[in-house]
Structure 1
Amino acid sequence: MPPEAERSDQGKADRGRDAGGLGSTVARTVFAGYRLLTGIGAPLVRTYLRRRLTRGREDPFRIEERLGRTKLARPEGPLVWLHAASVGETVSLLPLIERLQREQPALSLLMTSGTVTSAKLMAERLPAGVIHQYVPVDLPGAVAGFLDHWRPALGIMVESEFWPNLIRSASQAGTELVLLNGRVSPASYRSWRRVRPLIAELLGHFSLVMARSPQDQAHLRDLGAGDTLCAGDLKAAAPPLSADPAALERLRAEIAGRPLWLAASTHSGEDEIVAQVHRMLTALHPSLLTLIVPRHPNRAEAIREILEAKQLTVAQRSRGEAITGDTDIYLADTMGEMGLWYHLANIVFVGGSLVPTGGHNLLEPAKLDCAVLTGPHTTNFSQMAEGMQAAGALCQVADEGELQKTLATLLADTGRRDALAATAAGYADRQADVLGRVMKALDPLLQKIPTA
């Protein structure tokens, strides 16, 4: 980087360190201790990684990437690094990556994430030329190896990935940092306020903070973020999820016109509710088919036991079992096929919301002409849920009884179901300009990157 850029980066880092006086001094001391402890504790972290490896939670062929080492050469020229934690966040970055590739062809793009499932999905969906790596664990040596090799000019981090060594080292190495789709749940906000000097020091290393909602923006400002704006939820910019046409046609043939509904991204405690609702609804719709897509497919066998204990007939996708006329529940326990289920069903309950998990993305089914239902726990997507509900694009149910009642109405009244789906699709369409706002905000930082 040219001297001017280095001075700018150092000034940014200094502002992050100096803001807050005594509090900032305490923060620097704490982070110095954290760096020392993570350095000393590196052997324990390596043991932890090996344990995760035996459980299938790390990639045996790419485990070195978690320690900041790679077999890939760095491309020549300036590089922009984008980081997201897992599947949902990585998918939300795809439209931005495609836009950057199209409008900034001189830049190389590096994508990092932390989970095996996200890496597999990115192998299928990242545009040609974009590099994927696992994010290094937050050890000083691993972070240094990663940054020394890739030397990103700009780093874009999604939502709330606040790894102290990674953030501070990247900033001090001259990487401009952006927090994109910044999210602070009410619980996190309460916790971080108790250690405000620490989070303020970390936020001070970001040149730009883009919050996903006005509430998140207010929380981030209060916690010490500097240049902050509300660009909207990046997940709204994602294109509709795709589906394999052959698989969709085959499943539609198996279903043969039966009434059906989908319980998507369910968590522990919700599958029992779904099973009970199904049993009650069959009094009105004897041929009803219920689809369950668990948020974590590794729960599938436990879910099957729950369903079969209630005398329900289950067909399980991972076992290759077909839907027959006797199937009560189709257990769709695979990764990367949510678009298939949203294309198949036109009534969708989005899980993680009847239990206090915080809910999941409500726009994904809305974009595919589904009538969308959710429970009361939507803190992870509160702005999205409130906006959809205000627009008449969402049915929010309080409990099992309301879920059953609402489903019964939508299954019986196709006109009402179609109207709700059309309203949801219209709402989703109106949110899609978030990507333009993000690009406009990024433009000054992108223009600063030397391309010659």
Structure 2
Amino acid sequence: MLFYHFLWTFVGGPLLAGCRIYKSPRLMERLACRLPRVSIKPNCIWVHALSVGEVISAIPLVRRVSGEYPDKDLVFSATTVQGLDLARKELDGMARAILAMPLDFWWATVRMIRYLKPRVFLLIETDLWPGLLSLLRAKGVESLLINGRISEGTFKTYKRAPFLARRLFRDLGFCMMQTEQDRERLLHIGVPAQKVVAVGNIKFDRTWAPMETQEKAYWINLFGLSQHTIVWVAGSTHGEESEQILDVFFNLQEGYPNLVLILAPRKIEESRRLFDLVRARGRSCVLRSQANGDVHRPDVIILDSVGELGRIYGIGHISFVGGSLIPFGGHNLLEPAS
């Protein structure tokens, strides 16, 4: 690990100097230069999720843990901006602090650990940082992988360098995987069997509130729809997958003029590009952030918000879950199914 930390010094050192000069808020967060002005009780419970999908998976766990251990402070971190936004929306009142996960630069991770003084670190699904995990272990902090998964692509990479792959999991005390296949993949690369178990997917533990008439009317009015509108919701689409959906939609709309597409790209930053693409095709389009209920029914609605897709599936007559037209594996089918 000394060599790993040494390499990060060459990357983190200039970044640290740069953030002090240019005062970039995001970079300051990722280097743990800007920490919340909140006092955290020692021996807190630290839960980490990479992005939106992992945050959604973590919600039932956070609710259960905060209820079981009310005397412990629970701190939640996420890596992406979208994940942080969703965590602040969904976990308000349950987490003592919500903050950005720092880069695996030893200076930043040591600073974070000293600030939190955690008793246990719960990692949701993925986002393994060997530097952080080794430093936590050196401090006597137990690290657990919750809802772990190993995709086909990741497994192929692990098999090319099983020694390095095992090193990623060495400092985890226990790995609770989603499926027996995930468990077998860890065993295949040499992770000790006594620290790996298949326990199922915690996404199934989330409660899904049915959409009431009043809420449905709110969304329909907001987007300028009507009772005759056929709504197709395409969620969590990736890159060119969004364009494929648009091509199919444009063809379908010729035979079904009442058809409207609500498109939710996986990366919100793609929203403006997709908006321009739709307009260039001569179709009407509105961004969710601009919808105010005072618009004529558009052809396409681009969802450029975080945490609303699960509810918007409720007004759809047809649903498509992204990640399934590309070699990704697909996203959570439970959202539209609920």
Please state which structure has a larger fraction of its residues in strand: 2
Q: Is the contact between residue 168 and residue 202 of structure 1 (CA under 8 Å) also seen in structure 2?
A: no
Q: Is the contact between residue 79 and residue 152 of structure 1 (CA under 8 Å) also seen in structure 2?
A: yes
TM superposition shift of 1:34: 1.1
Q: Label 1:108 to 1:312 Cα distance change in 2 as closer, same or farther (>3 A).
A: same
2:40 maps to which residue? 75
- Give the distance between the partners of 1:315 and 1:64, measured in 2 at CA: 33
Q: Is the contact between residue 66 and residue 94 of structure 2 (CA under 8 Å) also seen in structure 1?
A: no
Q: Is the contact between residue 261 and residue 301 of structure 2 (CA under 8 Å) also seen in structure 1?
A: yes
Indicate which of 236, 248, 267 corresponds to 2:238: 267
Within a 5 Å distance, the mapping from 1:65-144 to structure 2 comes to 66-67=31-32, 70-130=35-95, 131-144=97-110
1:174 maps to which residue? 140
TM superposition shift of 1:324: 5.5
TM superposition shift of 1:230: 0.6
1:225 maps to which residue? 191
- Give the distance between the partners of 1:76 and 1:326, measured in 2 at CA: 52
- Give the distance between the partners of 1:244 and 1:294, measured in 2 at CA: 26
Q: Secondary structure at the match of 1:205?
A: coil
Within a 5 Å distance, the mapping from 1:19-34 to structure 2 comes to 31-34=1-4
Within a 5 Å distance, the mapping from 1:294-443 to structure 2 comes to 294-320=265-291, 322=293, 327-367=298-338
Q: Label 1:267 to 1:51 Cα distance change in 2 as closer, same or farther (>3 A).
A: farther
TM superposition shift of 1:283: 4.2
- Give the distance between the partners of 2:23 and 2:152, measured in 1 at CA: 33
TM superposition shift of 1:196: 1.6
Residue deviations 1:355-398 (CA, integer Å, cap 9, x gap): 3333211111112xxxxxxxxxxxxxxxxxxxxxxxxxxxxxxx
Within a 5 Å distance, the mapping from 1:211-250 to structure 2 comes to 211-226=177-192, 227-240=195-208, 248-250=216-218
TM superposition shift of 1:176: 0.8
Q: Is the contact between residue 242 and residue 339 of structure 1 (CA under 8 Å) also seen in structure 2?
A: no
Q: Secondary structure at the match of 2:319?
A: strand
- Aligned pairs, number: 332
Q: Is the contact between residue 81 and residue 110 of structure 1 (CA under 8 Å) also seen in structure 2?
A: yes
Indicate which of 225, 231, 243 corresponds to 1:255: 225
- Give the distance between the partners of 1:357 and 1:323, measured in 2 at CA: 38
Name the TM-score, length of structure 1 as normaliser: 0.67
Q: Is the contact between residue 69 and residue 146 of structure 1 (CA under 8 Å) also seen in structure 2?
A: no
Q: Secondary structure at the match of 2:46?
A: strand
TM superposition shift of 1:210: 0.5
Larger Rg: 1
Residue deviations 1:119-161 (CA, integer Å, cap 9, x gap): 2222222152522122121111111111122221111111222
TM superposition shift of 1:224: 2.9
Q: Is the contact between residue 16 and residue 31 of structure 2 (CA under 8 Å) also seen in structure 1?
A: no
The one-letter amino acid of 2:331's match is H
Q: Is the contact between residue 243 and residue 339 of structure 1 (CA under 8 Å) also seen in structure 2?
A: no
TM superposition shift of 1:52: 11
**Identity, % of aligned positions:** 26
Q: Is the contact between residue 62 and residue 94 of structure 2 (CA under 8 Å) also seen in structure 1?
A: no
Q: Is the contact between residue 219 and residue 312 of structure 2 (CA under 8 Å) also seen in structure 1?
A: no
TM superposition shift of 1:41: 3.1
Is 1:291 the counterpart of 2:259? The answer is no
1:44 maps to which residue? 14
The one-letter amino acid of 2:82's match is T
Q: Is the contact between residue 300 and residue 333 of structure 1 (CA under 8 Å) also seen in structure 2?
A: yes
CA RMSD of aligned residues (A): 2.8
Q: Label 1:349 to 1:33 Cα distance change in 2 as closer, same or farther (>3 A).
A: same
Q: Label 1:51 to 1:224 Cα distance change in 2 as closer, same or farther (>3 A).
A: farther
Q: Secondary structure at the match of 2:197?
A: strand
Q: Label 1:90 to 1:50 Cα distance change in 2 as closer, same or farther (>3 A).
A: farther
TM superposition shift of 1:348: 0.6
- Give the distance between the partners of 2:173 and 2:52, measured in 1 at CA: 26
Q: Secondary structure at the match of 1:292?
A: strand
Q: Secondary structure at the match of 2:118?
A: coil
TM superposition shift of 1:81: 1.0
Q: Is the contact between residue 38 and residue 138 of structure 1 (CA under 8 Å) also seen in structure 2?
A: yes
- Give the distance between the partners of 2:239 and 2:106, measured in 1 at CA: 37
Q: Which blocks of at least 5 consecutive residues in structure 2 are unaligned?
A: none
Q: Label 1:298 to 1:221 Cα distance change in 2 as closer, same or farther (>3 A).
A: same
- Give the distance between the partners of 1:51 and 1:353, measured in 2 at CA: 43
Higher alpha-carbon deviation: 273-282 or 358-367: 273-282
Q: Which blocks of at least 5 consecutive residues in structure 1 are unaligned?
A: 1-30, 368-452
Indicate which of 119, 126, 134 corresponds to 1:153: 119
- Give the distance between the partners of 1:220 and 1:48, measured in 2 at CA: 39
1:380 maps to which residue? none
The one-letter amino acid of 1:256's match is S
Please state which structure has a larger fraction of its residues in helix: 1
The one-letter amino acid of 1:327's match is P
Q: Secondary structure at the match of 1:156?
A: strand
1:431 maps to which residue? none
Within a 5 Å distance, the mapping from 1:188-227 to structure 2 comes to 188-226=154-192, 227=195
The one-letter amino acid of 1:115's match is T
